[in-house]
Structure 1
Amino acid sequence: MNIPRVDGAHGRWPLSSAGGSSQPQPAKGSSSLRIPQDQLDISPAAQLMLELSNLDAADGPERLELINRIREEIAQGTYDTDGKLEAAFQKFLEQHGMTDE
């Protein structure tokens, strides 16, 4: 029994080169292939997280100073989080039109 090699040296199926195109190429004279496009759907929660991550860059130095001060107070355990956190969250919801009112 004769089994052909498939390593590219003597086989019928040549190995593709490392720099070769991974996209299928249409044969000459034929119509081009329709290649499906990827689609990315971002959830509303992920969009909100993206907005929040961009707030630091969009705000001025005063806001960054306030944020750093609050972070330091939270780390030291001296930040009164009950009332301040609720007020900040309500303000955030109002600014983004997410209130139940």
Structure 2
Amino acid sequence: MQIYGPYRVSTQQPVGPNSRTAKPAAPAEKPAASSVDQLDLSSAATAANRLSGITSPSTESDIRVDRVAEIRRQIASGSYDTPEKMDAALDRFLDQYA
């Protein structure tokens, strides 16, 4: 099939198994069994992870499950966000970044 523009298409070419001009793609080679995946993070990415609160697997045991459950309960009941907490968070933010 040839396309000559947005409104003109020619279908005068034969269609069938013998009309193919391109050869099928060769199968991709499998990577060697000894290949190792590696991830290198820049210092900027590491700093961004620290700022966003992403922790490494070694510090996951520091999570206080009881405190998380209490905060989730407060959020669900609508009593977590208070004007006083928002003011304190804003003050801490401004102290750190201003």
TM-score where L is the length of structure 1 = 0.39
TM-score where L is the length of structure 2 = 0.40
Tell me which protein shows more strand as a share of its residues. Answer: 2
